[in-house]
Chain A
Amino acid sequence: MSDHAPMDSHDQAHVDWGTYKWVALVLFVMTVVEVWVYYIPAFVATPWFVPTILILGAIKFAIVVMFYMHLKYDKKLFRALFVGPLLIAVSILIALLFLFGQLGPHTK
């Protein structure tokens, strides 16, 4: 049993206080940007607004998962257990949005 967890504590060494600080800073800055951008009506009116929010959100999601949940440094098994279901779930979400007319050609 890995209670002494030589593997885990070794992985911990890869992610140190410096990295955590940067991750926190990046998360903070991205959130500020997201909210800032929300209050620019001219930008919100463009078709770039939604993709920007989605991309910023996705990057935040990815860095928390990769660094805080240290999926980047952990065994591939954990990556498989998470990324597989995530991809299928997101695909289903997108499919449902098409099926319910929230995405796709605008025929309102």
Chain B
Amino acid sequence: MATIVAPPSVARHQARYETGIWSWLATTDHKRIGKLYLYTSLLWFFVGGLEALLIRTQLWGPNGRFVTAETYNQLFTMHGTTMVFLVIMPFSAAFFNFLIPLQIGARDVAFPRLNAFSYWVFLLGGVFMNVSWLLHAAPDAGWFGYAPLTTKAYAPGINIDFWVLGLQILGLSSLAAAFNFITTIINLRAPGMDFMKMPVFTWMSFVTQFLLALSFPIITVAVTFLMLDRFYGTNFYTIAAGADPLLWQHLFWLFGHPEVYILILPAFGLVSEVLPIFSRKPLFGYSVMVYSAMVIAFLGFGVWAHHMFAVGMGRVADSAFAIMTMLIGIPTGVKIFNWIGTLWGGRLRFTTAMKFAIALIALFTIGGISGVMHSSPPSDLQQTDSYFIVAHFHYVLFGGSMMGLFAGLYFYYPKITGRLMSEKIGTVHFWMTFIGMNLTFFPMHFLGLNGMPRRTWTYDANQGWEMSNQMATVGAYLLGAATLLFAYNWFSSMKKGPVAGNDPWGAATLEWSIPSPPPDYNFAVIPTVTSRTPLWGADPGPGPVTYPAPAGNAAPPKTAAQLHITMPTATIKPLIAALGLGVMFTGLIWHKNMPVMLAGAAIFVASLYNWLLTPLEPEHH
């Protein structure tokens, strides 16, 4: 193998990007990009959580005046938009980034610079949308922004412009990442790793990438129509011109339903990694887990109008979507049984990660049951637009996605940071979260069935709603405290936590065979894989005596240069390209300022050309 000698100009360039802030701004390392996603999501989690607390404070008692109705609309819109697009999706992306190359035995993703670009565009999108708060003009028409309510005629302010453009920006980030991970998983698996030997998290993520690649174009189109209506006077959602008020709803939910599978499948993947390790048993029904995910993704494109049972589509349409929705419960439910089968007869160890994973099984099942109730149109006509729906989706999104993400965060913390989180604090965090979550959202089932509608800023007394609302508010504050505790545990353990070795949990897959944190090249030698659980061999074994296992004294890993491994060069070009996009969208929202828009577009195109015509790695000599 040739020795890599970079020409002098490249070497000088590289030195600047090796340390400090530049090493983050110019990174193309999937592990760093994963960390960037993680910390950014955590920040937005607190922002979205604060929005939730403000909502719950307003709803503490009847006729609350803690915030105005207008502010309330902005709060629930931004809470939803933030949690979906700026928290759950990027937390999942943090794991896609950090974990997929490690799990498949690769050195990086297929397109490292595109990967960096995805992150910077995501950061841009989140900031762009939240800048609206500074103008007290945050989006205020719900996270689903139904047109014609969101057209200029009914939403003349700049609020929805922020929403529309912010979503476009975020969509670009997700699409780019999807193409990247699809290619990575297809093409960069280690020798011997057939598709049916891939870890389940990678499988769930693979399916998720297809959902992203196919559903985001639809919302791009829907939002483009709205953007054109608002900025340039087209008629896509103009009723007077003959437009159909249902066009937005169909297009949005055609995206929106696959989106909810995008939100849950990665968490399912994380749980599928955690449960086997702490049961000392391989995952029960690996093939079924894989195939059911594919079925969910496929059917997921056929159920969208179950969000529209109240609009009057007619009996045929309602029935068709009802049946499809009930069908999709089957592959989803099957997974629950696979997890239970994994736990059954296992030697269980209740680490914090395990607790969160098991909680997902229970809480997602509850959310799934209320979901099945919605699948029947007559039943849904009672439930739709009520707090019953709010209860449902918080059970699946918090009780499902967030619990799964927490399980992943605790499980992979040692791999990411090289230290171990405090299990004691973790346990307290878990119970506060579990109790807080149920206290907040379980009463909402009753609120909904007792008639409390969604998205209303206040309610009258003497309807029997006070107690449930108070419980929900207390629960929400408990969740806030729990999350602060989690953040404390996360950051303090980085300094104070015991040092983790390669594999503190006695785990099974490739990522646990390398140092924690991994060196930039991941694997000194790309492994050849012969089983789904390479580290377990024939028998999982009893696992470490204590959880987590104390670290041995390992020599520091060699550098890439010492091992003659070529690494992708760090480069600022993806960031510049993202900034170009930012300038372009800022120009558009700022009075359709054409010079600024053109400048932004020019920066974007120029940096893209520069990037595409520059080799990814230093030339061989």
Residues on A facing B (Cβ under 8 Å): 77, 85, 88-89, 91-92, 95-96, 98-100
Contacts and interface: CB of A to CB of B under 8 A. Distances in A.
Contact of A92 (B213, B244, B298, B301): B301
Contact of B214 (A88, A91, A95, A96): A88
A88 B244 contact: no
B31 to A, nearest CB: 24
Contacts of A92: 254, 301
A100 B214 CA distance: 22
Interface in B285-324: 298, 301-302, 305, 313, 317
Of A88, A89, A92, A99, most buried by chain B (CB within 10 Å of CB) is: A99
Contacts of A96: 250
B186 interface: yes
22 contacts: A77-B186, A85-B213, A85-B214, A88-B214, A88-B298, A88-B301, A89-B214, A91-B301, A91-B302, A92-B254, A92-B301, A95-B302, A96-B250, A98-B317, A99-B246, A99-B250, A99-B305, A99-B313, A99-B317, A100-B244, A100-B246, A100-B247
Contacts of A85: 213-214
Contacts of B254: 92
Contacts of B246: 99-100
Q: Chain B: interface residue count, which band? A: 10 to 19
Contacts of B317: 98-99
A92 B298 CA distance: 12
- Looking at chain B's contact residues, the main secondary structure is helix
A91 B90 CA distance: 30
A27 B411 CA distance: 57
A70 B244 CA distance: 40
A27 to B, nearest CB: 27
Contacts of B298: 88
Nearest to B187: A77
Nearest to B247: A100
A1 to B, nearest CB: 10
Nearest to A96: B250
A81 to B, nearest CB: 8
B209 to A, nearest CB: 12
Given A77-B186, A88-B298, 20 more contacts: A85-B213, A85-B214, A88-B214, A88-B301, A89-B214, A91-B301, A91-B302, A92-B254, A92-B301, A95-B302, A96-B250, A98-B317, A99-B246, A99-B250, A99-B305, A99-B313, A99-B317, A100-B244, A100-B246, A100-B247
B295 to A, nearest CB: 13
Nearest to A104: B316
A77 B301 CA distance: 21
Interface string B184-205: 0010000000000000000000
Interface string B229-252: 000000000000000101100100
Nearest to A95: B302
Interface in B305-357: 305, 313, 317
Nearest to B213: A85
Contacts of A91: 301-302
B255 to A, nearest CB: 11
A64 to B, nearest CB: 21
Nearest to A88: B301
A100 B186 CA distance: 38
A91 B254 CA distance: 12
Interface in B338-394: none
Interface in B241-280: 244, 246-247, 250, 254
A79 to B, nearest CB: 13
A101 B213 CA distance: 29
A89 B302 CA distance: 11
Interface string B92-110: 0000000000000000000
Contacts of A98: 317
A40 B186 CA distance: 50
Of B213, B247, B301, most buried by chain A (CB within 10 Å of CB) is: B301
A49 B517 CA distance: 65
A56 B213 CA distance: 29
A77 B185 CA distance: 13
A96 B214 CA distance: 17
Contacts of A88: 214, 298, 301
B321 to A, nearest CB: 10
Contacts of B186: 77
Nearest to A98: B317
Interface string B170-193: 000000000000000010000000
